[in-house]
Amino acid sequence: MTVRLTQIAKRAGCAAKHPPGYLFPLLKNLPKIVDPNVLVGNATADDAAVYRISDEIALVLTTDFFTPVVDDPYDFGSIAAANALSDVYAMGGRPLTALNLVGFPDEILDGQVLARILEGGAAKAREAGIDIVGGHTIKTDEPIYGLAVTGVVHPDRILSNDRAKEGDVLVLTKPIGIGIITTAAKQDRDTGGAIAEAIRLMSMLNRDACDAMLEVGVHAVTDVTGFGLLGHLRNMTLASGLEAEIELARVPVIAAAKTYVEGGIAPGGTHANHRFMAEHVDYEVDKTAQLLLCDAQTSGGLLIAVPEGKAAQLVAALEKRGTPAAARIGRLTSARGVAGRARVRP
Ligand code: CO
Ligand code: CO
């Protein structure tokens, strides 16, 4: 009998992330970063840290790991690797190497399961053009897998989340709803078999989307993961001193996710995001749409702020590379009051 990995994990994928409302207050008393070579640190809740080595080269440093989001060990490994690599692409960087981070319950699972997880991760790293050069493993009650990735970027060409400008168009490169689909599958309620599409989307590298935005030139970018579309958008608007307007009709959504969320299926992380975002968003859409926009994604797409005059060029560059979505979903406006707010229109 094959083991279903999601049945061992209490929480799945990036929905296992601690929500921003819990995390940020705990971080605020940590010592301030003083090294002047830290070009991007923890102050702006960006995707990765960036450290200047010389005027020509900076390191991009990031790590992501989580519990199984799907049942198949190989798929889990490949998704976790794609998700960890994404934070390098979200800084406009290029990955160089990675290390495995592993927790494994060897008393309840066969070692072959771990071997398959690592094979999935290694194959995804290879697809990204890098090797996994080592790692660390501990015994845990649930499987945990992810990578610590090292990449490079030119210090003058870092794409952080804090340089978006008023008037920028927001472009999203994968549809949302992944958290709802994986939760439906975990609960045996994925009647439409949407998990196959979700696995395809989660396993897809954000490299092509990164290449497209580097070719066109954009202001700011982040990837959409555990805090959901609106949560990651908030990190960008807060860091950039702006507000955002989203048009729901333009946001690409996996069709089954809408049906499932209407039926009451959503991960705990999605509800936590929704509660946290309530005071930061003016919604003109119903609760179903609100949950979709806050849905905790695992290995979601890039959310890009591009100057209005280059938006069509960016969409064309993404479409040429066949990214799962290339959707203009809204725009950035000046902050009328406190930065970081969003308005969602039908
Ligand atoms: Co990220
Ligand atoms: Co991350």
What are the sequence ranges of the domains in the chain? Answer: 5-153, 169-345
Q: What spacing in Å lies between the alpha carbon of 223 and ligand 2's midpoint?
A: 8
> Which pLDDT belongs to residue 124?
98
Kind and range of the H or E run holding 75: helix 73-89
Any idea which ligand is nearest the CA of 62?
A: 2
Q: What spacing in Å lies between the alpha carbon of 89 and ligand 1's midpoint?
A: 9
Q: In a 3-state reduction of DSSP, which class is residue 144?
A: strand
Q: Look at residues 80, 159, 168 and name the one whose alpha carbon lies nearest to residue 124.
A: 80
Beta carbons within 10 angstroms of residue 8's beta carbon = 17
Question: What distance in Å separates the CA atoms of residue 293 and residue 270, rounded to the nearest whole number?
Answer: 9
- pLDDT tens by residue, 36-85: 999 999 888 889 999 999 999 999 999 999 999 999 999 999 999 999 99
- pLDDT tens by residue, 132-151: 999 999 999 999 999 999 99
User: Do the beta carbons of residue 296 and residue 179 sit within 8 Å?
Assistant: yes
Strands 302-306, 220-223: parallel, antiparallel or unpaired by DSSP?
antiparallel
Q: How far is CA 90 from the centre of its chain?
A: 9
Q: What spacing in Å lies between the alpha carbon of 63 and ligand 2's midpoint?
A: 6
Any idea which ligand is nearest the CA of 232?
A: 1
Q: pLDDT category, 336, cuts 50, 70, 90? A: confident
Query: Which amino acid is located at 115 in the chain?
Result: A
For the record, the structure tokens of 108 come out as 């309840």
Any idea which ligand is nearest the CA of 91?
A: 1
Instruction: Quote the mean pLDDT of the chain.
Output: 95
Q: For residue 35, what are the contacts with CB-CB under 8 A and spacing of at least 6?
A: none
Q: What spacing in Å lies between the alpha carbon of 88 and ligand 2's midpoint?
A: 9
- pLDDT tens by residue, 245-291: 999 999 999 999 999 999 999 999 999 999 999 999 999 999 999 99
Q: What is the pTM for the complete model shown? A: 0.96
Q: In a 3-state reduction of DSSP, which class is residue 331?
A: strand
Question: What distance in Å separates the CA atoms of residue 338 and residue 143, rounded to the nearest whole number?
Answer: 41
Q: What spacing in Å lies between the alpha carbon of 207 and ligand 1's midpoint?
A: 14
Q: What spacing in Å lies between the alpha carbon of 206 and ligand 1's midpoint?
A: 11
Any idea which ligand is nearest the CA of 222?
A: 1
Q: Which of 9, 12, 14, 220 is catalytic?
A: 14
Number of H helices, E strands in the chain: 11, 13
Question: What distance in Å separates the CA atoms of residue 293 and residue 280, rounded to the nearest whole number?
Answer: 13
Q: In a 3-state reduction of DSSP, which class is residue 253?
A: strand
Please compute the mean of the pLDDT values over residues 181-192 and round it to a whole number: 96
Q: How far is CA 38 from the centre of its chain?
A: 23
Q: What spacing in Å lies between the alpha carbon of 314 and ligand 1's midpoint?
A: 20
> Which pLDDT belongs to residue 38?
97
Query: Which amino acid is located at 345 in the chain?
Result: R
Ion ligand 2: residues, CB within 5 A, are: 64, 87
> Which pLDDT belongs to residue 230?
98
- pLDDT tens by residue, 223-235: 999 999 999 999 9
Any idea which ligand is nearest the CA of 64?
A: 2
Residues in the chain: 346
For the record, the structure tokens of 223 come out as 């990837």
Q: pLDDT category, 1, cuts 50, 70, 90? A: very low
Please compute the mean of the pLDDT values over residues 213-239 and round it to a whole number: 96
Q: What spacing in Å lies between the alpha carbon of 313 and ligand 2's midpoint?
A: 27
Beta carbons within 10 angstroms of residue 27's beta carbon = 10
Under CATH, domain 5-153 is a member of which superfamily?
Answer: PurM-like, N-terminal domain (3.30.1330.10)
Does the structure show a pLDDT above 80 at 12? Answer: no
Question: Active site includes 210?
Answer: no
Strands 38-40, 49-52: parallel, antiparallel or unpaired by DSSP?
antiparallel
Question: What distance in Å separates the CA atoms of residue 66 and residue 256, rounded to the nearest whole number?
Answer: 24
Tell me the fold of 169-345.
Phosphoribosyl-aminoimidazole Synthetase; Chain A, domain 2 (3.90.650)
Following DSSP, what letter does each residue of 84-130 receive, concatenated? HHHHHHTTT-EEEEEEEEEEE-TTTS-HHHHHHHHHHHHHHHHHTT-
Say whether 169-345 and 5-153 share the same fold. no
